[in-house]
């Protein structure tokens, strides 16, 4: 039986930030957030500590690099009393990009992990360096603790998938291990587990993960059939700063003009809602749309059309949809977005309540009208899913 009281440190490595979340079982007991700030032309890193009661404190000390900050994180957790000889860490979890067959599974990190990450730099030039840094820093700071590379596609790369192959020459597919691996796997894994636990699993369900990054996955009998992201998270829906699917020739042209890394960066960080409306914050875009801001309205309508269109696509491919689930920041919190999407799907038998009240303490809410197919809002918990899978992996190693 999996020990749910294991203590894990979950890392989220960005290009200029590092977040350390300490969990006891599925409960987050403390987090550290290191972020870079510019001061007199020099970058320094500051740390904010957040405790279980929600209180925050900015630490006085500053660091010259994230590597130095990482080493200090261990001392901070020990000083706070969360890690000691009686309560040692069981593992350190680092989310890794879903690039290549190796990363369709979770792995205790060894040299092969780093070799595979080097290969993955071709398609993930922005994400892989942060993952490598996080993994190496974890090994150095906690030399006797298992470091686990958590796949972002494990729950999606199943035999049930019907859309994982690209129509490209086989030799190219094989050489670069190209496939529509998908992403947000930890979120989808958690949601489907929760749906089964709650007893609300329908034969054909669509889960909409709408946050700063957006994707949709269609499930048949609780197994993934279709997902919107591909070899990388760029494919599929437009999101806060990602372009979503564009004519491949545009990517090729940008790559030739700007270089591959800069072209990918532009489509990941400088596109999407930000490019259309000048803001990546859906709340601001909605407010500006209500004030008749034309650019905000264009961005909002494109976002809604993209989600509704993908749901309609999956309805055609799966022969109908029995239930829809909204999750992640926008999916969980934005009634206007959910309402706009569902209003386009009434022909499929979905109607949303205008006065739906979501009680998160129940773990979910059905926001559909009485004569509608179910429409659920379920808060996601990606860390909980990663902790569950890491516990299983470590238990199998014993």
Q: How far is CA 2 from CA 11, 150, 342, 397, in A?
A: 22, 17, 39, 12
Residue 147 sits in the same domain as residue 191: no
With a cut of 70, which residues of the chain have pLDDT below it? 1-4, 14-16, 360, 398
**367 plus 219 within the same structural domain:** yes
Residues 376 and 389: beta-carbon distance below 8 Å: no
Is 230 part of a structural domain of the chain? Answer: yes
Q: Is residue 390 a part of any domain in this protein? A: no
DSSP β-bridge partners for residue 95: 150
Q: Residues 47-50: contacts with CB within 8 Å, 24+ apart?
A: 47/72, 47/76, 49/76, 49/80
Domain span at residue 144 reads 7-151
CA distance 65 to 136: 14
- 134 and 229: one domain? no
Distance, CA of 322 to CA of 311 (rounded, Å): 12
pLDDT attached to residue 144: 87
Q: Are residues 358 and 221 in the same domain?
A: yes
The answer to whether residues 205 and 119 belong to one domain is no
> Residue 1's pLDDT is what?
39
In a domain, 159, yes or no: no
What pLDDT does 279 receive? 97
Domain-located, residue 173: no
**Which pLDDT belongs to residue 360?**
64
pLDDT for the residue 16: 67
The single residue of 27, 60, 115, 152 carrying the catalytic annotation is: 152
Does residue 353 lie in a domain region?
A: yes
Within this chain, do residues 298 and 350 fall inside the same structural domain, yes or no? yes
Q: What Å distances lie between residue 379 and 89, 94, 167, 293, CA to CA?
A: 27, 22, 35, 31
Q: Are residues 106 and 29 in the same domain?
A: yes
pLDDT digits (tens, 9 = 90+) for 272-285: 999 999 999 999 99
152 is catalytic: yes
Strand partners, 28: 23
For residues 11 and 110, membership in a common domain is answered with: yes
Same domain, 231 and 372: yes
Q: Whose CA is closest to 328, among 192, 181, 196, 208?
A: 208
| Domain edge (last residue) among 130, 151, 172 | 151
pLDDT at 18: 80
pLDDT at 45: 87
> How many domains would you assign to the chain?
2
* Average pLDDT score, the chain: 91
Q: Write the CATH number for 142.
A: 3.30.420.40
Domain termination residue (choose one: 107, 128, 151): 151
Q: Tell me whether residue 231 is exposed, middle or buried, using C-beta atoms within 10 angstroms of its C-beta: 0 to 12, 13 to 18, 19 or more.
A: buried
Task: Establish if 161 belongs to a structural domain.
Answer: no
For the sheet with 323-327, list strands across it: 223-227, 214-220, 204-210, 323-327, 375-377, 365-366
| Domain assignment of residue 387, yes or no | no
pLDDT at residue 81, rounded to an integer: 84
What is the structure's pLDDT at 354? Answer: 81
Tokens 């957040």: give the residue: 50
Structure token pair of residue 70: 């990482």
Query: Are residues 98 and 225 both part of a single domain?
Result: no
What digits encode the pLDDT tens for the residues 26-81?
A: 889 999 998 888 777 788 888 999 988 888 999 888 888 877 777 788 888 888 88
Express as a percent the part of the chain with pLDDT over 90: 70
Say what the pTM is. Answer: 0.92
116 in the same domain as 49: yes
Picking from 127, 151, 175, the residue at the C-terminal end of a domain is: 151
For residues 199 and 329, membership in a common domain is answered with yes
- Domain assignment present for 129: yes
pLDDT score recorded for residue 237: 98
């Amino acid at each position: 039986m999996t020990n749910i009281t294991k203590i894990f440190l979950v890392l989220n490595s960005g290009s200029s930030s590092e977040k350390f979340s300490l969990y006891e079982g599925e409960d987050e007991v403390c987090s550290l957030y290191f972020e870079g700030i510019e001061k007199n032309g020099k970058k320094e890193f500051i740390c904010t500590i957040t405790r279980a009661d929600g209180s925050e404190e900015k630490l006085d000390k500053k660091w010259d690099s994230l590597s130095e900050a990482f080493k200090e994180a261990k001392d901070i957790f020990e000083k706070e009393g969360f890690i000691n000889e009686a309560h040692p860490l069981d593992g350190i979890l680092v989310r890794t990009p879903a690039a290549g067959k190796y990363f369709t599974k979770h792995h205790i990190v060894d040299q092969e992990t780093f070799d595979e990450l080097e290969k993955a730099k071709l398609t993930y030039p922005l994400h892989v360096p942060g993952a490598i840094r996080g993994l190496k820093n974890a090994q150095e700071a906690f030399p006797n603790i298992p470091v686990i590379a958590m796949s972002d596609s494990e729950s999606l790369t199943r035999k049930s998938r019907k859309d994982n192959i690209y129509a490209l020459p086989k030799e190219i597919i094989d050489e670069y291990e190209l496939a529509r691996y998908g992403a947000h796997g930890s979120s989808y894994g958690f949601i489907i587990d929760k749906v089964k636990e709650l007893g609300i699993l329908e034969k054909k369900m669509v889960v909409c993960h709408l946050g700063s990054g957006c994707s949709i996955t269609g499930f048949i009998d609780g197994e993934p059939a279709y997902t919107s992201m591909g070899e990388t998270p760029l494919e599929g829906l437009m999101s806060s700063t990602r372009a979503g699917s564009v004519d491949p020739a545009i990517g090729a042209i940008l790559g030739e003009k700007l270089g591959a890394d800069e072209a990918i960066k532009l489509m990941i960080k400088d596109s999407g809602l930000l490019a259309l409306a000048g803001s990546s914050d859906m709340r601001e875009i909605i407010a500006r749309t209500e004030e008749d801001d034309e650019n905000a309205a264009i961005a909002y309508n494109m976002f809604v059309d993209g989600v509704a269109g993908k749901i309609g696509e999956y309805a055609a491919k799966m022969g109908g949809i029995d239930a829809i689930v909204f999750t992640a920041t926008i999916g969980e919190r934005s009634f206007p977005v959910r309402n706009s999407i569902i209003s386009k799907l009434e022909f499929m038998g979905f109607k949303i309540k205008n006065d739906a009240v979501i009680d998160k303490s129940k773990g979910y809410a059905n926001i559909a009208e009485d004569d509608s197919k179910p429409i659920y809002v379920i808060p996601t918990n990606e860390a909980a899913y990663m902790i569950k899978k890491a516990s299983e992996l470590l238990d199998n190693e014993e």
